[in-house]
Amino acid sequence: MPQITVDYSESLADGFDRPGFARALHAAVVEIAAAKPPACKTQFRRGEDTTVGDATGGHAVVHVTLGLLAGRSEETRARLTEAVLDLLRRHVRPAEGLALHASAEVRDLDPSYRKFDA
């Protein structure tokens, strides 16, 4: 915990500083949500095709999902979501003429969540 997934359009691959974003995001999660640094895990998933409305070109999407153990207040989750959006503004540089659609959500992990480290 936290489990972080970043889905992003392939057209952002060259303009998205993923390692820098992950480091900054982990620091924000530690500061805002009291997570432990070694527990922060981020996976990036590149999507080949992006369609916004009826347009298949000219748009790029990045969406960040943070799964935390239950117990964080609405205020904490909102602060973390705003921090994610700010970090995206700093770490994603879409190519000229490309409209960026960025979003984030912080959700509670299901009570069935379990993990192991090997």
Q: Quick: pLDDT tens for 10-41.
A: 999 999 999 999 999 999 999 999 999 999 99
Domains of the chain: 3-108 (3.30.429.10)
Q: Which helix (H) or strand (E) holds 59?
A: strand 59-68
CB 32 within 8 A of CB 78: no
pLDDT of residue 1: 77
Query: Which regions in the chain score pLDDT beneath 70?
Result: none
63 closest CA partner among 79, 40, 43, 77 = 43
